[in-house]
Amino acid sequence: MRSLVFLLAGLLATAGWMHGEIKTPENGPIEITSTGQTTYENGLATARDNVAIHIGNTDIYADYAQYNSSTHDVTLKGHVRIYRDTSLYNAESGIYNTETKKIRAITARTESQPYFLAGNDVTSIEGDNAYLIKGGYFTTHDSSKPDFHMRARKIRVYEKDRVIFLNVTAYVGRVPVFWWPYLYQSLDNAFSFSISPAYYSTWGPSLLTQVTFPITDNIQARLRLDYFGRRGPAIGFEPTIEYGKDQTSVARIKTFYINDQNPEINQTDIPRTGVPESRYRFSLEDHTDFTDSIYGIANITKLSDQYVMQDFFQGEFRIDPVPDNVVALTKINPVFTLTGTERFQANDFFTTTERQPEVVLDIKRHALLRGPIFYEGETGFANLRLQFPEDSGIKNYGTERFDTFHQLVYPNTYFGWLSFMPRAGYRGTYYGKTWDLGSTIFVPPSNPLVPDTILPPPSTTNPIKFAGDTFRSVFDTGAEASFKISRKWEDVQSRAFGLDGLMHVIQPFTDFSYVKEDGPNPLSVLQFDRFEPSTQLRAIDFPQFTPIDSIADWTVWRVGVRNRLETRRDDSTMTWLELDTFVDRNFENPYDRTDYSNLFNNLRFNPLPWMSFSVNSQLPAFAKGFTEVDTFASVQPLANLQVNVGHRYLNGNPFFENSSLFVVGGYLRVNDNWGLAIQEQYEGATETLQEQRYAIYRDLTSWVASFGGVIRDNSGVKEYGLLFTVTLKAFPKFGFDLNFDPASSGQ
C-alpha cells in the first residue's frame, strides 16, 4: 500500500510526492492512502484505487481522488463515501473542500438515523453541518423500496436540528397522497406536524391540523387549524414559555375560537339555552419561581359559555367540568408555609366560592424545643363570597372568616412494639356573618346517611337571611395506635405464583377522635369549605379534615387491621397480597348517624408481573348503609394477549345513583403486522351499553395504522365516531393522528 501524508510547517513530501511541500488549511494534516498509482503534478495530488482520505473528523473513501492544494478541493469519483461525525454521504462523484468543509455532489445519498436522504445535487451550506439537496428524496424506511417517501424540489438539512422541504409531495409506495408548498420537520421533539381526519356525530366530517414549532429556545408553540363539518372552521394557539432563573418557571397558554354555525347541536339529555355563535376558550397555567423559597401559581380559564369544553375539549371536560380560576403566592420554609390565594368567578355561569383574598400560615409538625412533644398548626384569614350563576335569581352572599388551629402530638413507642400517638387541639373561628335561622325547626333527614349539620343551599323560594357575627370554638382530642407482628416461611417457593419465601405481616391499628364544638348552632354557619358527598370515609383528624365550615360534635372510633404477604423479587421486597379491613364505631357522627359505618375491605393481589387483581368493597355489616364493590383485574396470559376487566357496583347511596358498571377491554397482537383492540362499557342498572370501542392495527414497517369506531350512549342520545390513525414510527409526533377527543390530542 502506498501512503501519502500532507503536513504543514514545512513537512517535505515523501517518495511518492516528488514536488515539494503541500499546504493545508489551518495547519491541519491530510492523510491519503491508496492501493493504486499516486502522482503529484502542478499542485494536483492524484490517487487511484481504494482511496482513503482522513481530515480531522472527516473520512473520505472513493475509487479516485485528486487534491488541489490551491483551492483545497478534493475531486472524488466512483463509490464516493464521506463520513463526517455520525453522518454518511454517498455519491458517484463529488467535490469536498477541506477548508470550508462543503460538499458538492451529484446524485448523492446521505444517512443520519432515523432518516435517509438522496438528491440530484447536494451542496454544503451555512457551516459544517448543513447542506442543500436539489431534486430531493426523503424517507425513514431503510429499504430499496420504502413504504413511504417524500419528493421535494429542494431540501435543506441541518444536522441534528431540522429539515426544510420546498414543494414536497408525500408518497405511500408509488401513490402520491399529499402535497405541501413548504414543510418544516424538526429532528428533535421541538417540532411536529399532524393532520387528523375525524368524524364525530356532533361535529360531522372534520379535519384537525396541528403544527408544533419553536419560537425561541425557551418558547414552543402549537398552532391548531381545525375544520368541523357541522360547526365551521376553528383556530387555536397554544404557546409554552420557559422563563426565569434556569428556566424553571413555566407558563402554558391555550386559546381556541370558533364561529359556531350550529351552536344548538346537543347530543346530551340536558337541555341548553342561549349558547352563543362566537365561542372561545382562554386558559393560563403558570408556575413562577421568584426565589428558591417563593413561588407563584396561576390557573385561569375564561369561557364563552358553559358548554364549550364539553363540545370541543371532551377529554378535559370529563376530568374538570368546572375549571377553576385561582392565583396564589407561596413562601416555603422547613417549619412553615405561608400562602396567599385569590380565587374569583371568571365565568358567571358557574357557581364559585370566591376567596378575595385568603391568607393561610401552615405550621408543619415539628418538635417543641427539641423535646418529645410535637406542635402543628394552621391560621388563616379569608374574605369569602359564594357567587351563583348570573341568571339563577339567587342572591350572592359572603363573610369574613378568621380561623386558627393549634394541636400538640406526643408520638412514642411503648414496650418496644406499640406505637401510640395521643393528640389534643383547639380551633377558633370568627365569622362576620351567620345564617339567621329565626324560628326554623329543622327535622333531621329520614336517611341516616344524609348529614344533619347543613341546611339546603339558598334558592329563589328560600332566600338567605343574615344575622350578626359569631365566634366558634372547637376542641379536639384523640389517639392513634398500631403495632406489627410477623412470621416468615423461607421454604415457600413457587415460580408459578412468583414466590421466593413468604412473610406475613399483621398490623392492627386504631384511631379515636373526639370533637366538641362550642358556639352557635352549626346550621347557622355559612357554608364555604363545606361537606361534599362521597362514598368513602372522611378524615377524623385535624388538619386532614378540611370542610371546616361543616364541623359539628363527633365521637368516632376507627379500628382495623392490615394484612400483608411479602416476598422477594428482583433483589427487593414486594407486597404479594395486601388486605386492609376497617370500620368506624359512631358514638356520635353528624355525617353518618348509624351506629357503625360500612365494613371496608380493600384487597390488592399482585402474584406475578403480568397479573394484578384488586377489590375495594364496603358492606353494611353492622348497621343500615349502602353497598359498594369495585373490582379490577389485568392479566397477560400470553405474550400477545392482554385482558382488562373492571366492575363497579353501587347500591343504596343517597347521593349517587345505583350502578352496576362493567368495563371489559383487551388487546390481541395477531402477528407481527396485525393487532386488535376492544373496549366495552355496560351499565347493568339501566341495561345500557354506554360505550363501545373497536380498533384494528396494522404495522406498515415505517408506519403504524389503525382503524376503528366508537359509539356512546348518553341517556338514550347516541354519539358516533370513526377512528383512523397513521403514525410514522421514526417521528412519533409526525403523522396522521386521530383521537376520539381530538380537541384534547397532544396531551
* Local confidence band at 149 (pLDDT 50, 70, 90 cut-offs): confident
Domain ranges (residues) in the chain: 2-175
Average the pLDDT over each of 96-100, 232-236, 368-372 and give the range with the smallest value.
96-100
Residue 288 C-alpha cell reads as: 413562577
> Percentage of the chain with pLDDT > 70?
85
The span from the CA of 546 to the CA of 405, in Å, is 12
pLDDT at 439: 65
Residue 512 scores a pLDDT above 60? yes
pLDDT at 105: 60
* Local confidence band at 663 (pLDDT 50, 70, 90 cut-offs): very high
The span from the CA of 297 to the CA of 285, in Å, is 8
DSSP for 440-451 reads --PPPPSSTTS-
The span from the CA of 508 to the CA of 400, in Å, is 43
Contacts 24+ apart (CB under 8 A), 248-251: 248/289, 249/286, 249/287, 249/288, 249/289, 250/286, 250/287, 251/284, 251/285, 251/286, 251/287, 251/288
User: What value does the mean pLDDT of the chain take?
Assistant: 84
pLDDT at 237: 95
Average pLDDT over residues 52-75: 83
* Closest to 65 measured CA to CA, from 90, 44, 85, 88: 44
> 239 to each of 189, 196, 212, how far by Cα in Å?
15, 20, 9
Q: Among the residues of 550-608, which ranges form H helices?
A: none
pLDDT at 454: 67
* Local confidence band at 623 (pLDDT 50, 70, 90 cut-offs): confident
pLDDT single digits (tens) 436-477: 877 666 677 778 888 876 667 777 777 778 889 999 999 999
> 204 to each of 27, 207, 231, 719, how far by Cα in Å?
68, 10, 8, 11
**Which residues does 191 contact at the CB level (< 8 Å), separation at least 6?**
162, 184, 185, 212, 213, 214, 733
Taking a C-beta distance cutoff of 8 angstroms, is the pair 646, 662 a contact?
Answer: yes
pLDDT at 442: 67
The span from the CA of 209 to the CA of 232, in Å, is 14
Beta strands in 639-673 (DSSP E): 641-651, 659-669
pLDDT at 520: 84
pLDDT single digits (tens) 160-184: 677 788 888 878 778 887 777 877 6
pLDDT at 33: 82
Query: Would you identify the CATH topology of the domain 2-175?
Result: lipopolysaccharide transport protein A fold (2.60.450)
Residue 733 scores a pLDDT above 50? no
Rg (CA), the chain: 36
Q: Give residue 689's Cα distance to chain centre.
A: 29
- Residue 386's CB is within 10 A of a number of other CB atoms, namely 22
Average the pLDDT over each of 75-79, 156-160, 273-277, 661-665 and give the range with the smallest value.
156-160
Measured CA angle at 454 (ends 449, 455), to 5 deg: 115
**Which residues does 574 contact at the CB level (< 8 Å), separation at least 6?**
566, 567, 568, 606
- Residue 742's CB is within 10 A of a number of other CB atoms, namely 27
Residue 231 scores a pLDDT above 50? yes
The span from the CA of 31 to the CA of 50, in Å, is 14
Helix (H, G, I), strand (E, B) or coil at 342: strand
pTM of the model: 0.74
Helix (H, G, I), strand (E, B) or coil at 557: strand
pLDDT single digits (tens) 73-93: 888 888 888 776 656 667 777
Average pLDDT over residues 20-42: 65
Which range, 103-112, 388-397, 599-608, is most confident?
599-608
**Which residues does 141 contact at the CB level (< 8 Å), separation at least 6?**
116, 147, 148, 149, 701, 702
DSSP for 25-39 reads GGG--EEEEESS-EE
pLDDT single digits (tens) 297-330: 999 999 999 999 999 998 888 888 999 999 999 9
The span from the CA of 526 to the CA of 455, in Å, is 10
pLDDT single digits (tens) 666-687: 999 998 889 999 999 999 998 9
pLDDT at 45: 82
pLDDT at 727: 63
Helix (H, G, I), strand (E, B) or coil at 239: strand
pLDDT at 2: 37
Q: What is the DSSP letter of 733?
A: T
Average pLDDT over residues 560-580: 93
Residue 739 scores a pLDDT above 50? no
The span from the CA of 437 to the CA of 340, in Å, is 33
Average pLDDT over residues 690-715: 81
Residue 502 C-alpha cell reads as: 413468604
* Local confidence band at 11 (pLDDT 50, 70, 90 cut-offs): very low
* Closest to 732 measured CA to CA, from 194, 168, 341: 194
Residue 646 scores a pLDDT above 80? yes
DSSP for 1-29 reads -EEEEE-STTPPP-TT--S-----GGG--
The span from the CA of 548 to the CA of 532, in Å, is 12
pLDDT at 4: 36
Residue 620 scores a pLDDT above 90? yes
Residue 134 C-alpha cell reads as: 436539489
pLDDT at 527: 87
Residue 1 scores a pLDDT above 90? no
* Closest to 615 measured CA to CA, from 641, 581, 583, 659: 581
> Percentage of the chain with pLDDT > 90?
47
pLDDT single digits (tens) 381-407: 999 999 999 888 888 889 999 999 999
Taking a C-beta distance cutoff of 8 angstroms, is the pair 114, 87 a contact?
Answer: no
pLDDT at 725: 67
Residue 448 C-alpha cell reads as: 341516616
The span from the CA of 122 to the CA of 110, in Å, is 9
Taking a C-beta distance cutoff of 8 angstroms, is the pair 553, 517 a contact?
Answer: yes
The span from the CA of 129 to the CA of 102, in Å, is 9
pLDDT at 112: 53
* Local confidence band at 711 (pLDDT 50, 70, 90 cut-offs): confident
The span from the CA of 535 to the CA of 65, in Å, is 81
The 10 Å CB-count burial string (b at 16+, else e) for 519-531 is bbebbbbbbbbbb
